[in-house]
A and B are shown apart, each in its own frame.
Chain A
Amino acid sequence: MDKNTEIAKRDDRNIEKTRELYEAAPAVDIYENEDEILLVADMPGVIKEEVSVNIDNGRLALSGIRKLESGGVASWEEFGNVEFVRNFSVPQTIDVENVKADLKNGVLTLHMPKSEEAKPRQIEIKTA
Chain B
Amino acid sequence: MFTRFSDIDRLFGTMDMLRQRLDNLYTDYNRPYRSTWLMEDGFLRANLYQSGDAFEMRLEVPGMDKDALDIKIQGNYLEISGKRDHNVPDGYKVHKTERLNGTFSRSFTLPDDVDGARVEATLKDGVLYLTLPKSEAAKPRQIAIS
The answer on a CB contact under 8 Å between B63 and A105 is yes
Contact of B34 among A17, A25, A30, A105 (CB under 8 A): A25
Residue in B closest to A83 when the chains form the complex, CB atoms: B32
Instruction: Report the separation of the CA atoms of residues A47 and B117 in the bound assembly, to the nearest whole angstrom.
Output: 31
Select the residue from A18, A30, A44, A71 with max chain B CB neighbours within 10 A.
A44
Stretch of B75-83, B93-101, B136-144 with 4 or more beta carbons under 8 angstroms from chain A: B93-101
- Measured between beta carbons, the chain B residues less than 8 angstroms from A76 are 46-48
Contact of A30 among B33, B46, B95 (CB under 8 A): B95
Residues of chain A at interface, number, CB under 8 A: 48
Select the residue from B33, B47, B123 with max chain A CB neighbours within 10 A.
B47
- Measured between beta carbons, the chain A residues less than 8 angstroms from B1 are none
Contact of B35 among A19, A24, A77 (CB under 8 A): A24
Contact of A42 among B30, B37, B47, B96 (CB under 8 A): B37
The answer on a CB contact under 8 Å between B88 and A31 is yes
The answer on a CB contact under 8 Å between A106 and B62 is yes
The answer on a CB contact under 8 Å between A72 and B17 is no
Q: Is the interface of B mostly helix, strand, loop or mixed?
A: loop
Instruction: Report the separation of the CA atoms of residues A65 and B109 in the bound assembly, to the nearest whole angstrom.
Output: 31
The answer on a CB contact under 8 Å between B125 and A79 is no
User: A43-B62, A106-B126 in contact; A71/B56 too (CB < 8 A)?
Assistant: yes
Let me know if B127 is at the binding interface, CB within 8 A: yes
Let me know if B65 is at the binding interface, CB within 8 A: yes
Let me know if B14 is at the binding interface, CB within 8 A: yes
The answer on a CB contact under 8 Å between A105 and B60 is no
Contact of A68 among B17, B65, B97, B127 (CB under 8 A): B127
The answer on a CB contact under 8 Å between B56 and A72 is yes
The answer on a CB contact under 8 Å between A27 and B50 is no
Let me know if A127 is at the binding interface, CB within 8 A: no
- Besides A20-B17, A27-B37, A29-B86, 13 other CB < 8 A contacts? A18-B14, A23-B32, A24-B34, A27-B34, A33-B93, A46-B125, A46-B126, A73-B49, A73-B51, A76-B48, A78-B45, A104-B63, A106-B127
